[in-house]
Structure 1
Amino acid sequence: MRNTEEAEGLDGEASNTSMISGASSPYQPTTEPVHARSVLGGIRCDVDYLKSYFGILKAVEVVLSLIGFICIETIMMCSPCGGVYFFEFVSCTAFVVTGTLLVIFSLNVHTKVPHVNWNLTDLGNTAASTFLFFLSSLVLACINHKTGAEIAAVTFGFLATGVYGLNTFLAVRRWRRGNGSQRAAQSSEYMRARTASRGEMEARPELA
């Protein structure tokens, strides 16, 4: 009887040990990796951003850049062609970069790369696009053959300049507001640390 009870006890302990080791085993089958769920769960369409001033302005910028690029591409003959090529480069680059940023912000992809200052990146893009669109539109307005495609390209180029300029103004305000909030938070944390240190010194005079 004792041998039987000891055998049953050993079997029970072995079974419990197997269950514990199986529960803690890193090779348990899963239907979906946790990392994949967390990554895919963060990528979603941010409707609030698309309805905001920045989302609307960025969508308008993409459309104006694309229309300007299409207009300049319809020009078959030019002499000199420097202004045409310059406007073509600016409109194409603005369309690609601004379109990429629009996708990144509207899908919340920027939250997955927090070490990049996205507000400053957006500000740099809008400021550079404002200057380049204004310069290329001015050059094309001065050096053209008054064709319909050139006039349309100049018109959409100056419209894009205005929209990018407004976006730059709002981006500067957002950047300054963010820096002000960060400095205020750092100052508040510093004051709390000093207050805590002073309270500890008063509670323990031997430290002084």
Structure 2
Amino acid sequence: MQQGFPGQHTTTTTVNVGTTAVNPTIRLDTSYFKTLPGILKVVQVVLNLLGFICIISTVLRYNSREQWFNTVAMGGFWFTGIILCFYVFHIIEKFHKIPWLKIELVFCLIWTACNLLAASLVAGDARIDDALAAAAVFGFLAMVAYGIDAWLKFMAIKRGDIAQGERQVNQSGTTTIPAY
């Protein structure tokens, strides 16, 4: 009996056959607001705006901590608001070759960390003004919303989804190779 390779071995070859179905027409679709990603984006925009208003209404609005909070809040407000409009008008679907999910994942991860830092800094001054305490709460809630959104984006990328439209991936194939 000879040691070494068995009489045959099995090699598994995975073939990904995928189809992508997108409609490149720009159109208004308010049903996006009823989806979890749509609800999260609306919540993020509202929390960023409320936090910004709270900081603006306080006497400490010119301090560096509060300025940082406003930078984070307005950055999140504008980026998330624009992306929300892109989804509602199917601009994301029109330009489906752009890696939107990866862009959003990176943004959501960065904004989760930025909101944690900004809300923590403002919370340190919360004893001075109730508006700062409210802003800190809105900042921490925005952090949670961006964290959940980042998790959803990560899972969608892992599944091979596209941001808008449909992609179906079929995997198959096992090949048995005889010994020589």
For normalisation by structure 1, the TM-score amounts to 0.63
CA distance in 1: counterparts of 2:89 and 2:61, whole angstroms: 41
Unpaired segments ≥5 residues, structure 2? 1-23, 162-166, 176-180
| Map 1:19-38 → 2, pairs under 5 A | none
Identity %: 31
Is residue 2:124 matched to residue 1:128? no
Is residue 2:74 matched to residue 1:92? yes
Higher fraction of strand:
2
Q: Report the counterpart of residue 198 of structure 1 in structure 2.
A: none
SS of alignment partner, residue 42 of structure 1:
coil
Q: Report the counterpart of residue 178 of structure 1 in structure 2.
A: 160
CA distance in 2: counterparts of 1:69 and 1:115, whole angstroms: 34
Q: Deviations 1:124-164 (Å, cap 9, x if unpaired)?
A: 22111111001110111124553021111111111111111
Shift of 1:78: 5.9
Is residue 2:122 matched to residue 1:140? yes
Residues 58 and 102 in structure 1, CA contact (< 8 A), matched pair in contact too: yes
For 2:77, give the aligned amino acid. Answer: F
Unpaired segments ≥5 residues, structure 1? 1-40, 195-208
CA distance in 1: counterparts of 2:61 and 2:47, whole angstroms: 23
CA distance in 1: counterparts of 2:145 and 2:96, whole angstroms: 27
CA distance in 2: counterparts of 1:160 and 1:78, whole angstroms: 19
Residues 130 and 162 in structure 1, CA contact (< 8 A), matched pair in contact too: yes
Q: 2:42 aligns with which of 20, 42, 59?
A: 59
Q: Report the counterpart of residue 3 of structure 2 in structure 1.
A: none
Shift of 1:66: 0.5
Distance 1:145-1:116 versus aligned 2 partners, 3 A rule: same
Higher-Rg structure is: 1
SS of alignment partner, residue 161 of structure 1:
helix
Q: Report the counterpart of residue 103 of structure 1 in structure 2.
A: 85
For normalisation by structure 2, the TM-score amounts to 0.72
* Structure showing greater relative contact order (alpha-carbon pairs closer than 8 Å, 6 or more residues apart): 2
